[in-house]
Amino acid sequence: MHKTLQWPIYAAACLLAANAVAQVPSEVDNCPQVVQDMIKSVTASEGLDGISYAVAPNGHMTCAGAYGFADKANGRAMTPNTLMRIASVSKTITGMAMVKLWEDGLLGLDDLVLNYVSDLLPPNGPADSRWRKVTIRMMLQHSTGWDRTVGGEPMQNSAVISKALGIRGPATITDITRWVFTQPLSFEPGSKASYSGFEYGLLGLIVERVSKTEYEQYVRQNILEPLGIRTSMRVGRTLQEGRAFADNPATYEAVYTLGTPDPGTLNVFPYITGTTPAPYGQWYEEALGPSGGWTATAPALLRFISGIFGIGVPKAFFKPETITATTARPSYELPSATSWYGLGWLIQTVSAGVRIGFTGALRGTESHVLLAPNGKSYSFITNTTEKDSDVIENAFAQTVGPLPISGADLFATAKYTDGTASAPQIRAVKGVVQGASFEPGVTGGSWFTVFGWNLSKTTRQWGDADFADGKLPSKLDGVEIKVNGQPASIYYISPGQINAQLPNLSVTGTATLKVIVDGVASQPEAIEIRASSPEFIRYSVGGKSFVAAQHVDGTVVADPALVPGLRAASVGETIQVYGIGFAGSPDGVIINQVTNVSNTVVKVGTQTANVSFSGLVAAGLFQTNVVIPKMPPGDYVVGLTVNGVSSLVTGLVPVR
């Protein structure tokens, strides 16, 4: 009787389990059952929401699949083309950008790093003189001298670094580099390897400075697009509002979870209060870009590694001697070493030859890409933190590694062919900024700037013909901007920059912006909306930044030694200083009436100046009339506070 009573319960349990398994989404293109079974096994054992994977013998992808959920809470299925964070596999992308610059003769692998970033050093030089020995090759091979078990991982220490530098944050790679140069190294550069993310962050900065192009733009145009990767890899965004391809469930970036209860964390964006899920604010994903901030699909990783190493492609991407240098054993490694860091890759010697690959992990994701000696490559990406390190990687090595998988090349199918790269692209770090401070955080009705590429096909500012019925133009030569779906007025367009006026949304916090060119929209960009962001407009001359000011006769206030024919301010004179963001203001219309702004405090040097007027005088433009205090001749820092909110940047006023 006991067994008879238990049998229905056992059978029901089995049936429920079978139904539960059946309800887990699965998408497979020509992957053997043994591979599918392995995927289901690791998904269950590691508590994954979802995983995507791909296999390519000799550069031709013959297996691609996905299992589980891209967004479990909403039931969205994972697909092979779902975009996901790849964490430290991003280093391989930056490494190949540096190798490309080297092969093109634009830098040397043994060039000193400080030759490229000397402007970021403290006034008295680096805190540790050994920084002067560090080369680009050492950076690529993780032998800089930085030990993150001693000095921490700067790329994920934004709050501490921002506080040390006295900036609002989050810290960019430029900020992080300035801070690191104030710290000591832990060992002699070039003497051994010690893995760190900072090194590749700094290499990304060098890519920009050498190429004179934004880091991601250079990588995409010079590395990825020639390999056929146009839309399936991009630098990711910290906030959920910035996830790519929201309009396409097959490619929409996954939701990241820890696999265990997430107690939340303080957000790196100072305007976001309280706690936030760890994957969406514990670190600054945009600044992490060159080191660990890229997103990709599993098939895209195979295109990348196969193309870079000339597997299954009609023309090798690099010269043979470049590949030899990329995989070479570092001088500090013993001849008996079986693994080492090459130029952007982890190299391992095995009985059959050399394995080339990399693994990445951040809270909420793990990724892996590998090229075996027999020419087979495989990759996987998850959207959940793995319970036990290396379980998934080992399962792939044991199951997929020795398994022959034949079939037609899926890379040749429409499903796995990227779309065009002509859509407007917004720069990841400070891609949308306040128009005077060039820092994040924009106020309704104020002017802001968008930086990126493919932002316009023409270059011009608005003209009389663009105005109608007293309204500012919201479209110039097919270029539009929408913020939370509302149109922004546009003043200036060019392929790399747009100046526009933010719609007065009457909200603060996070909004979503898109640039649209001839009906083709950029991916969404999460931006900060502030109740006020008072800043004086500035101009640069002679290596100095001055506030934009006029004498009462309308001539510009300037240092006559730097701008002959103009006059500096004088003691007791009232000058008109111009700014934006003092308060929310009307958008999209011509302003015909002055609106006063109260509680405006201006300091010239250390003295509080008399402010005789402060108010809105034109669309998004504020004017403050300031009486220059009694002071000796010199260039004085001008500070601005409006209703208790201070500016983030300062400028100078010349007093003579």
Residue 307 carries which side chain, given as an amino acid letter? Answer: G
pLDDT of residue 358: 98
Q: What pLDDT digit, counting tens, does each position of 218-276 carry?
A: 999 999 999 999 999 999 999 999 999 999 999 999 999 999 999 999 999 999 999 99
Structure tokens belonging to residue 396: 């792939």
Angle CA 265–524–382, to nearest 5: 55
> What is the SS3 string spanning 306-366?
HHHCCCCCCCCCCCHHHHHHHHCCCCCCCCCCCEEECCCCEEEEECCEEEEEEEEEECCEE
pLDDT > 70: percent of the chain = 97
Whether residue 11 is predicted with pLDDT greater than 50 in this model: the reply is no
Q: What pLDDT digit, counting tens, does each position of 438-477 carry?
A: 999 999 999 999 999 999 999 999 999 999 999 999 999 9
Which of these, 316, 206, 254, lies nearest to 74 by C-alpha position? 254
Q: pLDDT tier at 103 (50, 70, 90 boundaries)?
A: very high
Whether residue 16 is predicted with pLDDT greater than 60 in this model: the reply is no
Which of these, 232, 264, 266, lies nearest to 248 by C-alpha position? 232
Q: Output the furthest CA–CA distance in the chain (Å, rounded).
A: 107
- Tracing tokens 């790519």 back to the chain, one arrives at 244
Q: What pLDDT digit, counting tens, does each position of 585-627 carry?
A: 999 999 999 999 999 999 999 999 999 999 999 999 999 999 9
pLDDT of residue 4: 28
- Tracing tokens 């663009």 back to the chain, one arrives at 466
User: For the sheet containing 294-296, what is the strand order?
Assistant: 84-85, 294-296, 233-235
The whole-angstrom separation of Cα 496 and Cα 450 is 8
Instruction: Give the chain's count of helices (H) and strands (E).
Output: 14, 38
Q: pLDDT tier at 507 (50, 70, 90 boundaries)?
A: confident
pLDDT > 90: percent of the chain = 95
The whole-angstrom separation of Cα 386 and Cα 392 is 8
DSSP 3-state of 618: strand
Q: pLDDT tier at 6 (50, 70, 90 boundaries)?
A: very low
Q: Following DSSP, what letter does each residue of 19-66 receive, concatenated? A: HHHHTS-EEEES--HHHHHHHHHHHHHTT-SEEEEEEEETT---EEEE
Q: pLDDT tier at 114 (50, 70, 90 boundaries)?
A: very high
Half-sphere exposure for 428 (CA within 13 Å, toward CB): 27
The DSSP 8-state label assigned to residue 253 in this structure reads: P
Distance set, CA 164 to CA 240, 287, 646 (Å): 28, 17, 19
Structure tokens belonging to residue 223: 């590395």
pLDDT of residue 420: 83
The whole-angstrom separation of Cα 176 and Cα 110 is 23
Structure tokens belonging to residue 575: 């000058």
Half-sphere exposure for 185 (CA within 13 Å, toward CB): 24
Q: What is the mean pLDDT of residues 321-333?
A: 97
The whole-angstrom separation of Cα 69 and Cα 259 is 13
Structure tokens belonging to residue 416: 């796995």
Cβ(503)–Cβ(588) below 8 Å: yes
**CA dihedral (134, 136, 137, 140) positive or negative:** positive
The whole-angstrom separation of Cα 398 and Cα 632 is 77
Q: pLDDT tier at 506 (50, 70, 90 boundaries)?
A: confident
Whether residue 360 is predicted with pLDDT greater than 90 in this model: the reply is yes
DSSP 3-state of 215: helix
Helix orientation angle between 320-327 and 90-103, rounded to the nearest 10 degrees: 130
Whether residue 8 is predicted with pLDDT greater than 50 in this model: the reply is no
Q: Following DSSP, what letter does each residue of 186-199 receive, concatenated? A: SS-TTSS----SHH
Q: Which of 16-20, 146-150, 382-386, 459-463 has the lowest mean pLDDT?
A: 16-20
- Tracing tokens 């001697």 back to the chain, one arrives at 321
More confident residue, 144 or 20: 144
Whether residue 1 is predicted with pLDDT greater than 80 in this model: the reply is no
Average per-residue pLDDT in the chain?
Answer: 95
Q: What is the mean pLDDT of residues 365-391?
A: 96
Which of these, 349, 360, 352, 350, lies nearest to 327 by C-alpha position? 349
Which of these, 433, 589, 597, 439, lies nearest to 504 by C-alpha position? 589
Distance set, CA 627 to CA 282, 570, 631 (Å): 45, 9, 12
Cβ(371)–Cβ(311) below 8 Å: yes
pLDDT of residue 19: 40
pLDDT of residue 69: 98
Whether residue 82 is predicted with pLDDT greater than 70 in this model: the reply is yes
Instruction: Look at the chain and count its residues.
Output: 656
Report the C-alpha dihedral over residues 59, 410, 218, 88, rounded to 10 degrees: -70
The whole-angstrom separation of Cα 370 and Cα 380 is 10
Whether residue 2 is predicted with pLDDT greater than 60 in this model: the reply is no
Q: What is the pTM of this model?
A: 0.94
The whole-angstrom separation of Cα 608 and Cα 625 is 13
Q: What is the mean pLDDT of residues 373-385?
A: 97
Residue 358 carries which side chain, given as an amino acid letter? Answer: F
The whole-angstrom separation of Cα 91 and Cα 93 is 5
Q: Following DSSP, what letter does each residue of 465-492 receive, concatenated? A: GG-BTTB--S-BTTEEEEETTEEPEEEE
Whether residue 394 is predicted with pLDDT greater than 50 in this model: the reply is yes
